[in-house]
């Protein structure tokens, strides 16, 4: 049974009408604003979400009430008005009200061809979108004449088994019904949910008097906006086409006018300077009063300008930043609002080169997007080949099953990295992010045939060494060839936005930086210090690796000390560089962490070479390597365990840090180094290391006569360290949660192997998300909370932070703020994203 339609839900858009985006949708509210700004908007009626819901449920709208403001024989358009324009909605329908008698009258007024075109377009939209007839029968004919019209009418009658509706009431009623039901359809729901719409998102509809755009005098339609959608720079853009409707001007093959003077052809500015001037004035008014860059849809009808609609200008991430900053600089919005208008994740697009969204993509496979940005180069399969390629000045993509420490030099030489194994915290991913190197990991359906030096894709396509591919670390795509790219854009607008962000945020942001180059990047992105310097990465470079290996092969402590003395000046120089670049900002140096085994060669050629260098028998070398092998190296002899059992390494590092501190302080920067002990699980470990470091500090002070201090801290990255944070804190100036290892150990999940089944686990909702990517607030988070509380109870002013890969993510920053942590530390390229997220969370 049909219920009576309650037309209290129908509102004539007028300056004083009660309207809101949550009741009538964004378009209706925007049109009301334009009316209030005195713009010539044709008569418009808005149907609320409630009205549309009733229509979808079968209630019959009171069409007479809706039509009443339009006078007799109206011609109308109907458009969707959802709460957010991003949530979509059914397409607009124009020229509602066209019928045979109207057509005949219009032939006299605007000419037969123009009238026929209008009528045909309406029949086409009605037939396909409302009567839901097969669209093939209603293609627009090339020559819009009476014969074509008769054919289309006949097609309609045959398909719909009725005459084409002639009454505007029936037409409008059917159109409203069809649009209302379309919004409730499953695919429309799924589409808008994917864009963030709530399950009960409503649709409003606007019914507007047509400003025809065809007819006598100057008639036509156009679109105008006042910024470049790619860069956000001020620029008048758009087109105008005489005798046209809707957005025809934008797709017209020819005949459309440029808006401003243009050497390529005639312009609206030259031909209709008054109209052009009005449009510029309206643009200015919308910008300042709607506080947004809008695109205006307009019509000329016998020379009369009408503004039909205004929508937020579609824009790239780069333009989003520029527009927000320009609006704030012009005083249209506040800096706080500018900061909240930019999605932090979108900044990543500005920080790296990207595949041009308009470019076509020849996708070979999709892996895990591990380090953002895109790079094109020739395939190389070994680190040595990557170095050779760089030496020739040729960009290369290093392709490995997985990377290990031995590949670091190759990664430095490559422009991008692709691995078949690993997840977001695998070696390749962590180093890639640190270097700002585009990286795709876990592309498990690619195979490397080493013998023939080819990469084989799942579809059988083969890529030889030297073939050009592109890794898109933003999406995880591996593409054949070289698509068009967009360059990084760290322009003034970007810097300004982040300077504002820093004014508002209330949690520190440091960077994880291992090398002077990382530190420089971190400073360029205004990191407030280094939160984690993984010193072991310094031992893989050049001759240092050989010295490390010699040290590993030394049997006695004093032999080890002697070898390490050769590393001392190199480490000292590393630290001096870091102190100088960070110019007085804190630098937190983590003592040596990985298992020694990582420094030894794994292939026969490498083992032979090492035997040569060390002047040892091949069997001695092999035996030593076997001795160092562990079943579970990540849970074995690494971190502080190595520091306690092979103390010479930490002693050398401490001396290098202290000597660099003295040297850098003499040069001007007052340095108080922070030294951090990895993989602690018991208080006694901290005591033992502290005693040794204190002893070295005393020695260095005595030797040099210089005075300096240092701050000792502990990485909380084993569950036990979190549980015992209270007594560990007693010996520490700071604690930093290493959430990579803490996640690995809390789940009992190998961070280097989990990539293999992670997608199956996430797909089946075992985990909501990859916990190495998104901090697990429930489990790992509870350990963090406990650790932070216990540490603060014992030492109220202890400095707390997160330095795992999660550190730059919004959810981890939010969590850290709630738990009162002092700072987060993340890869240098995530620093700007973290700064913006932190500011938004504080506002």
Annotated binding site for substrate: 534, 590, 717, 738-741
Residue 803 binds to ligand PEP (criterion: CB under 6 A): yes
CB nearer to ligand PEP: give 228 or 574.
574
CB of 680 to ligand PEP, least distance (A): 12
Q: Residue 681: phi, psi to the nearest 5?
A: -135, -5
Which range binds ligand PEP by CB under 6 A, 301-309, 407-415, 468-476, 733-741?
733-741
Show the binding pattern over residues 577-596: x = contacts ligand PEP (CB under 6 A), - = does not: ----------------x---
d(CA 390, CA 297): 52
Residues numbered 493 to 552 that lie near Mg ion (CB under 5 A) are: none
Q: Which is nearer to ligand PEP, 214 or 745 (CB)?
A: 745
Smaller CB separation from Mg ion, 121 or 751: 751
- Closer Cβ to Mg ion, 29 or 751, answer by number: 751
Interface residue with ligand PEP among 77, 180, 739, 840 (CB under 6 A) is: 739
Binding-site members are 534, 590, 717, 738-741
- DSSP E strand boundaries for 436-544: 439-441, 447-449, 454-456, 462-464, 468-472, 477-480, 485-486, 508-512, 530-534
Question: Token pair of 128, please?
Answer: 């396909």
Contact 599, 545 (CB under 8 A): yes
Q: Which is nearer to ligand PEP, 96 or 803 (CB)?
A: 803
- The reply on whether position 534 binds ligand PEP by CB under 6 A is yes
Residues 318-357 that bind Mg ion (CB under 5 A): none
The site for ligand PEP, by CB under 6 A, has a size of 10
Nearer to Mg ion, 238 or 594 (CB): 594
> Alpha-carbon distance 156 to 138, whole Å?
8
Sign, CA torsion 142/145/148/153: positive
Q: How far is the CB of 719 from ligand PEP (least distance, A)?
A: 13
CB of 727 to ligand PEP, least distance (A): 21
Nearest alpha carbon to residue 307 among 320, 316, 318, 294: 294
156 near 189, Cβ under 8 Å?
A: no
Question: Least distance from C-beta 519 to ligand PEP, angstroms?
Answer: 17
Which residues are the active-site residues?
427, 803
3-state secondary structure of 11: strand
Residue 339 makes CB contacts below 8 A (sequence gap 6+) with 324, 497, 500, 501, 504, 836, 839, 840, 843
Q: Which does 674 bind (CB under 5 to 8 A by kind): Mg ion, ligand PEP, none?
A: none
Residue 779: which region, alpha, beta or left (left: phi > 0; alpha: psi -120 to 50)?
alpha
CB of 463 to ligand PEP, least distance (A): 31
Site string for ligand PEP, 368-397 (x = CB under 6 A): ------------------------------
Q: Given candidates 267, 740, 816, 840, which one binds ligand PEP under the rule CB under 6 A?
A: 740
**Numbers of helices and strands, H then E, in the chain:** 34, 31
What residues between 696 and 725 interact with Mg ion by CB under 5 A?
A: 717
Q: Which is nearer to Mg ion, 413 or 784 (CB)?
A: 784
β-partners of residue 589 are 533, 675
By CB under 6 A, residue 787 contacts ligand PEP: no
Under 8 Å CB-to-CB from 772, ≥6 apart: which residues?
Answer: 423, 424, 425, 740, 743, 744, 751, 754, 805
**Rounded CA gap, 539 and 549, in Å?**
10
Q: 3-state class of 449 per DSSP?
A: strand
The site map against Mg ion for 723-762 (x = CB under 5 A) is ---------------x--x---------------------
Chain residue whose CB lies nearest ligand PEP? 738
CA distance 471 to 610: 34
719/536 Cα distance (integer angstroms) = 23
Site string for ligand PEP, 223-262 (x = CB under 6 A): ----------------------------------------
- By the criterion CB under 6 A, which residues form the site for ligand PEP? 532, 534, 593, 717, 738-741, 803-804
- By the criterion CB under 5 A, which residues form the site for Mg ion? 717, 738, 741
């Amino acid at each position: 049974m049909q219920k009576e339609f309650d037309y209290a839900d129908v509102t004539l858009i007028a300056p004083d009408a009660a309207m809101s985006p949550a009741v009538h949708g964004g378009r209706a509210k925007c049109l009301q604003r334009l009316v209030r700004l005195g713009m010539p908007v044709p008569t418009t009626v808005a149907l609320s979400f409630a009205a549309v819901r009733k229509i979808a449920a079968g209630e019959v709208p009171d069409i007479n009430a809706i039509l009443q403001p339009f006078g007799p024989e109206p011609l109308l358009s109907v458009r969707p008005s959802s709460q957010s324009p991003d949530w979509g909605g059914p397409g607009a329908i124009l020229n509602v009200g066209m019928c045979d008698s109207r057509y005949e009258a219009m032939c006299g007024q605007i000419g037969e061809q123009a009238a026929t075109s209008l009528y045909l377009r309406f029949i086409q939209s009605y037939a396909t979108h409302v009567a839901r007839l097969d669209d093939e029968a209603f293609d627009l004919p090339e020559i819009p004449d009476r014969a074509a019209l008769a054919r289309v009418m006949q097609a309609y009658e045959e398909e719909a088994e009725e005459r084409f509706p002639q009454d505007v009431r029936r037409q409008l009623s059917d159109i409203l019904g069809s649009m209302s039901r379309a919004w409730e359809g499953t695919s429309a729901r799924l589409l808008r949910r994917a864009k963030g719409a709530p399950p009960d998102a409503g649709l409003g509809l606007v019914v507007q008097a047509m400003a025809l755009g065809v007819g006598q005098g100057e008639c036509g339609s156009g679109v105008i906006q006042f910024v470049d959608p790619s860069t956000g720079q001020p620029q008048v853009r758009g087109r105008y086409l005489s005798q046209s409707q809707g957005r025809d001007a934008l797709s017209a093959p020819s005949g459309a006018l440029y808006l401003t003077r243009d050497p390529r052809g005639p312009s609206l500015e030259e031909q209709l300077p008054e109209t052009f001037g009005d449009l510029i004035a309206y643009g200015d008014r919308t910008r300042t009063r709607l506080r947004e860059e809008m695109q205006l849809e307009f019509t000329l009808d016998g020379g009369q300008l009408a503004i039909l609609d205004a929508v937020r200008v579609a824009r790239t991430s780069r333009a989003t930043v520029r527009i927000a900053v320009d609006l704030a600089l012009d005083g249209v919005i506040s800096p706080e609002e500018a900061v909240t208008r930019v999605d932090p994740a979108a900044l990543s697009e500005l920080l790296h080169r990207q595949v041009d969204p308009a470019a076509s993509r020849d996708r070979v496979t999709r892996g895990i997007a591990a380090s953002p940005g895109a790079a094109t180069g020739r395939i190389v399969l070994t680190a040595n080949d990557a170095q050779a390629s760089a030496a020739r000045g040729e960009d290369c993509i290093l392709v490995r099953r997985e990377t290990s420490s031995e590949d670091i030099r190759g990664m430095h030489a490559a422009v991008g990295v692709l691995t078949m194994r690993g997840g977001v915290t695998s070696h390749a991913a962590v180093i890639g992010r640190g270097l700002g190197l585009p990286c795709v990991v876990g592309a498990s359906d690619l195979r490397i045939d080493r013998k023939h030096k080819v990469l084989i894709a799942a579809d059988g396509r083969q890529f030889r060494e030297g073939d050009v591919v592109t890794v898109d670390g933003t999406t995880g795509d591996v593409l054949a060839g070289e698509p068009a790219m967009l360059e990084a854009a760290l322009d003034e607008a970007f810097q300004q936005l982040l300077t504002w962000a820093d004014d508002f945020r209330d949690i520190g942001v440091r960077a994880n930086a291992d090398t002077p180059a990382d530190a420089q990047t971190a400073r360029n992105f205004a990191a407030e210090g280094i939160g984690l310097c993984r010193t072991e990465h310094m031992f893989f470079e050049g001759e240092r690796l050989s010295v490390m290996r010699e040290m590993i092969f030394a049997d006695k402590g004093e032999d080890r000390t002697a070898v390490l003395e050769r590393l001392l000046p190199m480490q000292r120089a590393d630290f001096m560089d870091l102190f100088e670049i960070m110019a007085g900002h804190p630098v937190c140096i983590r003592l040596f962490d990985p298992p020694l085994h990582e420094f030894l060669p794994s292939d026969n050629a490498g083992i032979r070479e090492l035997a040569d260098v060390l002047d040892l028998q091949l069997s001695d070398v092999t035996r030593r390597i076997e001795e160092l092998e562990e079943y579970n190296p990540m849970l074995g002899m690494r971190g502080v365990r190595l520091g306690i059992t092979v103390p010479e390494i930490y002693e050398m590092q401490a001396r290098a840090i202290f000597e660099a501190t003295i040297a850098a302080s003499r040069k001007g920067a007052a340095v108080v180094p922070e030294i951090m002990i990895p993989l602690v699980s018991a208080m006694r470990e901290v005591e033992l290391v502290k005693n040794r470091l204190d002893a070295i500090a005393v020695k260095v002070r005595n030797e040099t006569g210089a005075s300096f201090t240092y701050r000792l801290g502990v990485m909380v990255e084993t569950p036990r360290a979190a549980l015992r944070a209270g007594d560990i804190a007693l010996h520490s100036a700071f604690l930093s949660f290493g959430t990579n290892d803490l996640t690995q150990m809390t789940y009992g999940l190998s961070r280097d192997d989990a990539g293999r089944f992670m997608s199956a686990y996430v797909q089946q909702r075992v985990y909501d998300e990859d916990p190495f990517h998104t901090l697990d607030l429930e489990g790992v988070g509870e350990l963090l909370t406990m650790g932070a509380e216990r540490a603060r109870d014992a030492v109220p002013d202890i400095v707390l932070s997160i330095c795992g890969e999660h550190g730059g993510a919004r959810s981890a920053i939010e969590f850290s703020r709630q738990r009162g942590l002092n700072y987060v530390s993340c890869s240098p390229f995530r620093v700007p994203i973290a700064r913006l997220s932190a500011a938004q969370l504080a506002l």
